[in-house]
Structure 1
Amino acid sequence: MKAPKIITIGIKELAHQKVILAAWYNFLKESFDAKKLTGDEFTQYLQAHVMYDLDKDQIELMLSGSEPLLEEFKKSIFG
């Protein structure tokens, strides 16, 4: 398994964090069900790290996965 890539998503509102985390879970579950991910990848990528950026006064969600997977997720969320 290749080392995963990471994307960060800046969030100002807590409600947005919940929506993005729910979308990430659903996206990973659909990818796993479609056999695009192994069970180990699903478990590993499901772990999202959260950091608070004092300078920007926002939460940074850090999502990991393969580069194609992350690109597909960004397209599904942000168009």
Structure 2
Amino acid sequence: MKSSKIITIGIKELAHQKVILAAWYNFLKENFDAKKVTAEEFTQYLQAHVMYDLDKDQIELMLSGSEPLLEDFKKSIFG
């Protein structure tokens, strides 16, 4: 298994969290189907952590994965 990294995405609206989590699942599923991630990595990377930042009044969504995987995901959703 590759070394895991974490990215944090700040979210103000709950609806945005749902969209990002759905996009993350679909992205991981596509990579799993393409055999770019193993079943173990797929299961591990699906475990997203959520934290509420009182100072910023926003939700922090923490996604884990290999560095190239996370970079590809950021490009796919943020351009």
Q: TM-score, normalised by structure 1?
A: 0.98
SS at match of 2:42: helix
Rounded Cα–Cα distance in structure 2 between residues aligned with 1:5 and 1:26 = 19
Task: Give the aligned partner of residue 55 of structure 1.
Answer: 55
Identical aligned residues as a percent: 91
Tell me how large the CA RMSD over aligned residues is: 0.5
Alpha-carbon deviations, 1:9-63, whole Å to 9, x = none?
0000000000000000000000000000000000000000000000000000000
Rounded Cα–Cα distance in structure 1 between residues aligned with 2:23 and 2:58 = 19
Rounded Cα–Cα distance in structure 2 between residues aligned with 1:50 and 1:7 = 12
Task: Give the aligned partner of residue 16 of structure 1.
Answer: 16
* Structure 2: segments with no counterpart, 5+ residues: none
User: How many Å apart are 1:2 and its aligned residue?
Assistant: 3.0
Q: TM-score, normalised by structure 2?
A: 0.98
Count of residue pairs the alignment pairs up: 79
User: How many Å apart are 1:3 and its aligned residue?
Assistant: 2.8
Rounded Cα–Cα distance in structure 2 between residues aligned with 1:17 and 1:27 = 15
